[in-house]
Structure 1
Amino acid sequence: MDTSLFHSLEGKNICFKSLSTNDAEEIHSYASDEEVSRFIGWNLMNTLDETREYIETMLKRESAGTHLYASIVLKSTQAIIGTAMIFNFDQKSNHAEIGYVFHKEHWGKGYGSESVALMSDFAFRSLNLHKLHATVVDANIGSARILEKNGYELEGRLKDYYLIEDKYYDALLFGKVQTK
């Protein structure tokens, strides 16, 4: 899988670039934040070394062709504000899952919606996928709104799917099918 196109996606306010261990400090600023990591499925990164090791794991997955990852860069400052990913590729059914995480200073500013739009367009046009899906913790209202703004439909709910901080949360299943 050619990752260079994914790493060069560009929108009005953001652009994507390749993940790099050289950016570990910037990524650690949100990967080590309990509020950010609470609902994303990543373990909280307690040290810079843990973040660097996780970036190396992501790079190995990308090299193996099972995942696509990109750092999300704010064009106005060139700061890394998040991570975008496409993963769980199903070649037979021609679909994949998307995910994203942002530094909390950049929540609610439209960058999530812009990132999902870029990923969706790339996946449908360049990867020729038929469907994209995302799983969201029901308490993560902002993430659900991002998907809805991009035409993803709520397709299902898994009751008490996640146990986070001794509390159960439902999983919301969103999907979007390519329209030709």
Structure 2
Amino acid sequence: MNMKSNRLYLRELKMDDLGSLHKLQSNVNVMRYITNRPKTLEETENELFRILQMYKEKNADFEVMAVCKNETNQLIGTCAVIKNEADEFEIGYRLAEEEWGKGFGSEIASLIEDYCFGIRKLNFIVASVEAKNIYSVKILEKKGFNLILESIDDENGELTKYYRKDRHNY
């Protein structure tokens, strides 16, 4: 999923990213709508090992990439395309808090769309987001995703919005 935009590029994660990845995943505000809690260093390390193993297996059902700035090569987030329990390709991303409000979320969403529709030729992609995560909701709606379901999440009791975008709307 090596993709590039004006300000960002996506690349595979590597062991050298552990510090930056943990800084991202240990931030309570970044992880609020993902796991509802920050991750420990051990959890981040285990997750990174699992991702690196998936690269070796060339598993197209589980792709997680580093989001980096073109100018500095700094890792500022991650994004993913993962086949969910419903056998659909679900997209997601997380972005460093200090980078919020700069339009990077929309830029990442565009990169993921280009990859999913332009390269992978998927017929559709989905995204789920807690309703309280208003900025992610705005990004999905601005990018033309259609709200198809709202439900209460069994794990955290929060209202979750489920979106879909078809390739012909890309």
For residues 47-106 of structure 1, what are the alpha-carbon distances to aligned partners after superposition, in whole Å with 9 as ceiling and x for unaligned? 2x432221111223343512111100011222100001000169xx7x411010011111
Amino acid of the residue matched to residue 70 of structure 1? M
Of 137, 140, 153 in structure 1, the residue corresponding to residue 146 of structure 2 is: 153
Identical positions, percent:
26
- Cα distance, 1:149–1:104 mapped onto 2, change above 3 Å: same
Of 106, 115, 123 in structure 2, the residue corresponding to residue 113 of structure 1 is: 106
Q: Tell me the secondary structure at the aligned position of residue 168 of structure 2.
A: coil
Following the alignment from structure 1 to structure 2, what is the Cα–Cα distance between the partners of residues 137 and 14? Answer: 25
Which residue does the alignment assign to 2:18? Answer: 24
Give the TM-score, by structure 1 length: 0.84
CA contact (8 A) 2:25 2:31 kept: yes
Following the alignment from structure 2 to structure 1, what is the Cα–Cα distance between the partners of residues 12 and 135? Answer: 25
- Cα distance, 1:69–1:42 mapped onto 2, change above 3 Å: farther
Following the alignment from structure 2 to structure 1, what is the Cα–Cα distance between the partners of residues 35 and 24? Answer: 13
Matches within 5 A, 1:119-138: 119-138=112-131
Which residue does the alignment assign to 2:45? Answer: 52
For the aligned residue pairs, the C-alpha RMSD in angstroms reads 2.1
Give the TM-score, by structure 2 length: 0.89
Amino acid of the residue matched to residue 113 of structure 1? S
Higher strand share: 1
Matches within 5 A, 1:63-82: 63=57, 65=59, 66-82=61-77
Q: Tell me the number of residue pairs that the alignment of Structure 1 and Structure 2 aligns.
A: 167
Q: Which runs of 5+ in 1 are unaligned?
A: 1-5
For residues 7-48 of structure 1, what are the alpha-carbon distances to aligned partners after superposition, in whole Å with 9 as ceiling and x for unaligned? x2000110011111211001111100111111114863222x
Following the alignment from structure 1 to structure 2, what is the Cα–Cα distance between the partners of residues 161 and 109? Answer: 33
Q: Tell me the secondary structure at the aligned position of residue 51 of structure 2.
A: helix
Q: Tell me the secondary structure at the aligned position of residue 179 of structure 1.
A: helix
